[in-house]
Amino acid sequence: MAQDHLAASSPLPEHARLAAFAGEWDGEEMVYPSRWTAGGPATSRTVARMDLNGFYLIQDSVQMRDGKQIFATHGIFSYDRDDRTYKLFWYDSLGYTPPSPASGGWVGKTLTLVRGSLRGNARHVYEIIDDNSYSLKIQFSPDAEGWADVLTGVYRRIH
């Protein structure tokens, strides 16, 4: 009997761990002044789901300031079995295409993912507070040594 080469393996527990971020979330954010924006408080709405047989967390966020959408993101998270790291493919309304995904892993309840590009380095730090809230810190560094906050936020599950 011929082997079915399209039969997918099952997601690992590492994939399932990403489900902590699945759901609908309201966020209170602080955007720090940078070369991209003047900074200030913002709110956001995030919708995330586990999809494609449980291998990926797909996340869409819209950030609002003064009643207007100012920023949007699309993130695809997964676990790479080959190099045993988590990956984040990040796309946003600034329009830059990342040359590669951010990579990293969990330490306790904190998932840290780092990526580099010709513009510099970005670090995303997601920390699970409890079943209904998490925090996010996005940082930038030209040299991956001195990190400056770009965004901090706390996100609460919408029931």
pLDDT of residue 153: 97
56-93 burial, b at 16+ Cβ within 10 Å, e below that, comes to bbbbebebebeeeeebebebbbbbeeeeebbbbbbeee
- What is the pTM (predicted TM-score) of this model? 0.90
- Distance between CA 150 and CA 37 in Å, rounded? 10
What is the model's pLDDT at position 1? 46
pLDDT for the residue numbered 7: 59
Name beta bridge partners: 90. Answer: 75
Per domain, the residue ranges of the chain are: 11-155
CATH class of 11-155: mainly beta
Find tokens 């995030």 and name the residue: 46
Q: What is the pLDDT along the chain (159 residues), one digit of tens a residue?
A: 455 555 568 999 999 999 999 999 999 999 999 777 788 999 999 999 999 999 999 999 999 998 999 999 999 999 999 999 999 999 999 888 878 999 999 999 999 999 987 778 899 999 999 999 999 999 999 887 789 999 999 999 998
